[in-house]
């Protein structure tokens, strides 16, 4: 079958054809702006992913990349306890890029949106030398207050839901030219934030919340700083998975707990709760203290391993 190269507008038409809609979308793609409807206050967050920084084309397929940009952006809404409503995407690609890559990436965007129940309302497409995608997401709170980073109180417990350190383990193996264990490679390619759990946490009375994008210690550090509290993690509650142990052993005996504590990009949710209010499915991993405001300890001592995830292009 002959493949004709599409013009910019045809490509956008191909991407937006048959987009699902929702009562929240008053006007979808095709005009100067989209028009949407929220209930009460709205949350907004923007996230860019760049080829060579957040993904590599030889490590991730276009469908993975499309899913990833949506997942990473929506995780920021989850972390406020917001309900995802709509998003817009700016896509910058080299003119010589195979259009099949663009269309498959757009399919990844749409598939991840469908999983979440968020509706793509519009976008922008431009040329660039490297592939870059920016997702801006909007959500609402249905009358609840947003859960910020600033509300943790001494006596609260710290609880987490979602994968930790899987993407970092995946990056470690990909960086050494391997493609297995498959679970960690897939985790690096596409994060799976615990969609819906941000609202569950908010309704359960979470006092603070963040998604783990930079690493558990780094992101809990943001909560500790914003809340003016200390946090003490119990390493016995941090479960290292078999694939993580395999990776740590294979690449030189590193402590697999490093992936859990310092690995980012999985977009787990970590929150603080009054101890009686931890929702089902969340794992208590530590406590909030009045000692050492702004600091995060592991088993009551400073962590001496790596802290904070570095993207692979450093």
Give the interface with its own copies as residue ranges (CB under 8 A). 26-27, 30-38, 40-50, 52-54, 75-77, 79-80, 82, 86, 88-90, 92, 121-124, 126-130, 132, 134, 136-139, 141, 146, 148-150, 209-211, 226, 311, 313
Place of tokens 């980012």: 264
8-16 and 99-116 helices, crossing angle to 10°: 30
Q: Which tokens is 210 given? A: 């963040």
Please, which residue, 54 or 67, has the CB nearer to its own copies?
54
- Rounded CA-CA distance 143/41 in Å is 8
Question: What region does 265 belong to: left with phi over 0, alpha with psi -120 to 50, or beta?
Answer: left
Please, which residue, 47 or 266, has the CB nearer to its own copies?
47
C-beta of 155: minimal distance to its own copies in Å?
Answer: 22
What's the distance, Cα to Cα, between the start and end of the chain in Å? 42
Asked if 154 and 288 count as a contact pair (C-beta separation under 8 A), the reply is: yes
Show Cβ contacts of residue 215 under 8 Å, excluding neighbours closer than 6 positions.
168, 261, 262, 263, 264, 307, 308, 309
Q: Are strands 25-27 and 83-93 parallel, antiparallel or unpaired?
A: unpaired
C-beta of 303: minimal distance to its own copies in Å?
Answer: 19
Which is nearest to 17 in space by CA: 31, 35, 29? 29
C-beta of 206: minimal distance to its own copies in Å?
Answer: 13
Asked if 240 and 162 count as a contact pair (C-beta separation under 8 A), the reply is: no
Which is nearest to 116 in space by CA: 267, 12, 242? 267
C-beta of 166: minimal distance to its own copies in Å?
Answer: 20
Please, which residue, 116 or 247, has the CB nearer to its own copies?
116
**Residue 313 CB coordination number (10 Å):** 10
C-beta of 81: minimal distance to its own copies in Å?
Answer: 10
Please, which residue, 156 or 214, has the CB nearer to its own copies?
214
C-beta of 184: minimal distance to its own copies in Å?
Answer: 23
Please, which residue, 15 or 240, has the CB nearer to its own copies?
15
Please, which residue, 1 or 9, has the CB nearer to its own copies?
9
C-beta of 114: minimal distance to its own copies in Å?
Answer: 20
Please, which residue, 163 or 241, has the CB nearer to its own copies?
163
**Residue 203 CB coordination number (10 Å):** 13
C-beta of 164: minimal distance to its own copies in Å?
Answer: 17
Host H or E run for residue 185: helix 182-189
Please, which residue, 91 or 157, has the CB nearer to its own copies?
91
The C-alpha R_g of the chain, in whole angstroms, comes to 20
């Amino acid at each position: 079958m002959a493949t004709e190269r599409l013009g910019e507008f045809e490509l956008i038409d191909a991407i937006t054809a048959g987009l699902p809609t929702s009562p929240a979308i008053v006007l979808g793609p095709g005009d100067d702006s989209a028009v949407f409807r929220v209930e009460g206050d709205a949350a907004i967050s923007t996230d860019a992913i760049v080829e060579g920084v957040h993904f590599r084309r030889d490590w991730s397929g276009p469908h993975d990349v499309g899913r990833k940009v949506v997942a990473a952006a929506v995780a920021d809404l989850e972390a406020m306890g917001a309900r995802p409503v709509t998003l817009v995407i700016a896509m910058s690609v080299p003119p010589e890029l195979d259009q099949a890559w663009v269309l498959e990436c757009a399919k990844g965007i749409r598939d991840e949106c469908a999983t979440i129940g968020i509706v793509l309302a519009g976008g922008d497409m431009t040329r660039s030398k490297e592939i870059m995608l920016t997702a801006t997401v909007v959500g609402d709170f249905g009358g609840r207050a947003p859960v910020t980073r600033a509300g943790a109180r001494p006596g609260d417990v710290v609880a987490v839901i979602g994968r930790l350190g899987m993407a970092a383990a995946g990056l470690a193996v990909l960086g050494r030219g391997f493609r297995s264990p498959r679970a960690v490679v897939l985790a690096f390619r596409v994060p799976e934030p615990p969609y819906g759990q941000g609202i569950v946490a908010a309704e359960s009375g979470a006092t603070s919340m963040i998604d783990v994008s930079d690493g558990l210690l780094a992101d809990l550090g943001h909560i500790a700083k914003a809340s003016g509290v200390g946090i003490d993690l119990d390493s016995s509650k941090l479960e290292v998975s078999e694939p993580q142990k395999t990776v740590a052993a294979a690449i030189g005996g590193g402590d697999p707990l490093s992936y859990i504590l310092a690995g980012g990009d999985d977009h787990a949710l970590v929150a603080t709760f009054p101890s009686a209010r931890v929702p089902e499915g969340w794992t208590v991993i530590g406590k909030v203290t009045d000692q050492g405001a702004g600091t995060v300890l592991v088993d009551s001592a400073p962590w001496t391993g790596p802290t904070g995830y570095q993207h692979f292009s450093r």
